[in-house]
C-alpha cells in the first residue's frame, strides 16, 4: 500500500480504526480463542484493509490469504497476523499459458493450505476467478476439512444486475449460500433477496454497514488546490463520475443530463475517472459521444485505474459525485465520497437512497431519466448544501464515519465468529450508531500543491429514514 501521510486529514479518516485506540467490544479472553482465515480473492484492497485492520486489535489470530494487490505494511509484523501471498503478480498482459499455470498454482496452494490451516473459521470476502468451482466444489472441500464458513455477500446476484443471469449462475449461488454457516450483507434489501430468491434462513444472515474506505490517503490538500492540480478553474461547478466504467452504471444518462444543463450555463465541468471494465463496444460509443465536449474542455477523462495516492485529488476537486446507476446493490464509491465530505447525487436504485439525507448529504433522482438527473444537478447547485459546501464537508464526513465505521463492522463480525464456535448460541443484534453531533475541528494548513499526471424464511425490510432525518434535523436559518 502507498504510504499514508500522517496529517490531520488522514487522522480524521483513520481515527475510528486506530489499532492503538480501538474500542473493539470483544474481551481479550474470548477473542484469543478465535482464529480466522480471511479469503480475499486477491482483490478489493479497501475492504480487505478496513476489515482486517479493525479485527487485528481485538486479539484474533488472523490468516490473510491475499495477493500483491491487497498486500500492505499493516499486515506484517503484527502479533497473531499471518499474510499468505498465495497469489502473486496478476498482470493481464501475459499469454494464456502463463495465466493457466499461475491459476493452477494458486488453487493448488489454496487447497494445501486449507488442509493444514489451524483457523476453524474461513471467512470468504470474495470468490476467486472460477466462480462455479468456488461456489460448489471448493465450498464442499472446506466443509469436508472441518471449516466453518462465513461469507460476505457484496452482490447477491451480480449477473442479474448485469443482465446476463443464467440457470447455472443461480444454481451455483444457491449452493454456496446453503453451504455457508453465516452470511453478511450490507442492506436489508439484500437480506430479503437472499431469503426470498435463494431460500436462506433468516437466522443465518446479518446486515452490517458497508465500511467506509480508510485505505486511501486523505491529506491537508484543499479543494482549491485539487482543482488547480487538475487544471480546473476555481469557480467551475465540477461534477465527478468515479470508478469502473460498465453499462449498468448508466454513464450515458449522466452525459445526456450534463448536456442539458450546459446548454444554458457554461460554468460546469464533468470529470470521468475510472477504468472501462470489459465493455469495449460500450466505451467506444461513449467516447464517440463525448468527443466534442472533451475537445472543448467541458469533459475531462482519466480512463484508467486511479491509484490510491491520487484518489483524494478527484474527490476534493469535485463539488459533487453523481451515481447514475441503472441497477446496484450498494456502492462503495458513495461512502468513499462521503469520507471526503463530498455530497452525492444518486439514482433511486438498490439501497442508495438509504444513505443519502435529502439536502444534507445529497439528493436522489429517478433512474434512467436524464431529464430528472439534470434538474437534480441544478437543484443541488442552487441549494444551501452547495452554497455552504466548505462547512458541510466536515459534517458529511463525520456522519459517514459515525454510521459506517469499521468498528461497527468488526463488532458484528466477531459476534458471528464467536457464535459459530459456541454451538446453539444466537447471534446478538449489532449496536445502532449513536446520534451524530459535528465536532469543532481545528483549522488545517493547506497541502503543498504538486502537478498530477493526467429453509425458506421471510423477513420484512425496514427503512432508516427516520433515524437519518433525526440526525440531520433542519437547522434554523
The CATH homologous superfamily to which domain 223-401 belongs is Glycogen Phosphorylase B; (3.40.50.2000)
* In contact, 55 and 43? CB cutoff 8 Å: no
- Cα-flanking dihedrals φ and ψ of residue 50, to 5°? -60, -45
Distances 360 to 306, 320, 349 between C-alpha atoms, Å: 28, 12, 19
pLDDT on residue 354: 87
Q: What is the pLDDT of residue 16?
A: 37
C-alpha distances out from residue 376 to 338, 361, 363, 390, Å = 18, 13, 7, 20
Instruction: Name, in order, each residue with C-beta under 8 angstroms of 55's C-beta and a sequence gap of 6 or more.
Output: 36, 62, 410, 413, 414
Where are the domains positioned within the chain? 8-211+405-421, 223-401
In the prediction, which pLDDT does 422 show?
86
Vertex 306 angle, CA 129 and 256, to 5°: 95
pLDDT along the chain (477 residues), means of 10: 35 35 42 83 90 90 92 90 84 79 90 95 94 96 96 92 91 97 94 94 93 89 94 94 94 95 87 92 93 92 92 96 91 92 94 90 96 96 95 92 90 93 57 43 39 40 41 39
pLDDT in tens, 285-301: 999 999 999 998 899 99
Q: Distance (Å, rounded) from C-alpha 18 to C-alpha 7?
A: 14
Matching CATH number, 8-211+405-421, of 3.40.50.2000, 3.90.280.10, 3.40.50.300, 3.20.20.70: 3.40.50.2000
> What is the reported pTM?
0.76
Are 346 and 358 spatial neighbours (Cβ–Cβ below 8 Å)? no
Amino acid at each position: 500500500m502507498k504510504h499514508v501521510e500522517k496529517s490531520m486529514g488522514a487522522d480524521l479518516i483513520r481515527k475510528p480504526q486506530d489499532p492503538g485506540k480501538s474500542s473493539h467490544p470483544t474481551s481479550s479472553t474470548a477473542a484469543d480463542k478465535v482464529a480466522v482465515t480471511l479469503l480475499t480473492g486477491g482483490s478489493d484492497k479497501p475492504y480487505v484493509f478496513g476489515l482486517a485492520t479493525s479485527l487485528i486489535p481485538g486479539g484474533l489470530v488472523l490468516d490473510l490469504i491475499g495477493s500483491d494487490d491487497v498486500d500492505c505494511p499493516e499486515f506484517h509484523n503484527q502479533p497473531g497476523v499471518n499474510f499468505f501471498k498465495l497469489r502473486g503478480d496478476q498482470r493481464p498482459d501475459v499469454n494464456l499459458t502463463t495465466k493457466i499455470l499461475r491459476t493452477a498454482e494458486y488453487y493448488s496452494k489454496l487447497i494445501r493450505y486449507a488442509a493444514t490451516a489451524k483457523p476453524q473459521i474461513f471467512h470468504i470476502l470474495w470468490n476467486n476467478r472460477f466462480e462455479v468451482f468456488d461456489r460448489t466444489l471448493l465450498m464442499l472441500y472446506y466443509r469436508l476439512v472441518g471449516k466453518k464458513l462465513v461469507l460476505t455477500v457484496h452482490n447477491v446476484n451480480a449477473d442479474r444486475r448485469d443482465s446476463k443471469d443464467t440457470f447455472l449462475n443461480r444454481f451455483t449461488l444457491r449452493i454456496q449460500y446453503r453451504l455457508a454457516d453465516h452470511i453478511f450483507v450490507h442492506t436489508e434489501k439484500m437480506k430479503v433477496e437472499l431469503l426470498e430468491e435463494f431460500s436462506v434462513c433468516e437466522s443465518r444472515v446479518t446486515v452490517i454497514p458497508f465500511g467506509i474506505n480508510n485505505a486511501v490517503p486523505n491529506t491537508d490538500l484543499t479543494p482549491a488546490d485539487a482543482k488547480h492540480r487538475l487544471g480546473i478553474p476555481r469557480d467551475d461547478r465540477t461534477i465527478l463520475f468515479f470508478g469502473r466504467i460498465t453499462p449498468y452504471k448508466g454513464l450515458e444518462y449522466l452525459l445526456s443530463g450534463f448536456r442539458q444543463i450546459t446548454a444554458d450555463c457554461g460554468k460546469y465541468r464533468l470529470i470521468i475517472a475510472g477504468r472501462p471494465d470489459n465493455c469495449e463496444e460500450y466505451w467506444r460509443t461513449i467516447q464517440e459521444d463525448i468527443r466534442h465536449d472533451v475537445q472543448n474542455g467541458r469533459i475531462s477523462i482519466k480512463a484508467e485505474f486511479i491509484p490510491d495516492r491520487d484518489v483524494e485529488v478527484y474527490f476534493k476537486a469535485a463539488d459533487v459525485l453523481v451515481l447514475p446507476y441503472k441497477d446496484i446493490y450498494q456502492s462503495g464509491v458513495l461512502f468513499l465520497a462521503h469520507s471526503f465530505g463530498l455530497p452525492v447525487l444518486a439514482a433511486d436504485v438498490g439501497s442508495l437512497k438509504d444513505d443519502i439525507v435529502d439536502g444534507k448529504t445529497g439528493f436522489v433522482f429517478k433512474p434512467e431519466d436524464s431529464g430528472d438527473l439534470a434538474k437534480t444537478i441544478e437543484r443541488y447547485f442552487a441549494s444551501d448544501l452547495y452554497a455552504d459546501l466548505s462547512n458541510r464537508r466536515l459534517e458529511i464526513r463525520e456522519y459517514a464515519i459515525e454510521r459506517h465505521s469499521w468498528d461497527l463492522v468488526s463488532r458484528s463480525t466477531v459476534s458471528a465468529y464467536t457464535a459459530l464456535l459456541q454451538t446453539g448460541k444466537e447471534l446478538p443484534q449489532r449496536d445502532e450508531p449513536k446520534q451524530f453531533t459535528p465536532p469543532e475541528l481545528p483549522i488545517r494548513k493547506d497541502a503543498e500543491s504538486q502537478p498530477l499526471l493526467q429453509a425458506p424464511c421471510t423477513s420484512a425490510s425496514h427503512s432508516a429514514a427516520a433515524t437519518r432525518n433525526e440526525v440531520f434535523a433542519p437547522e434554523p436559518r
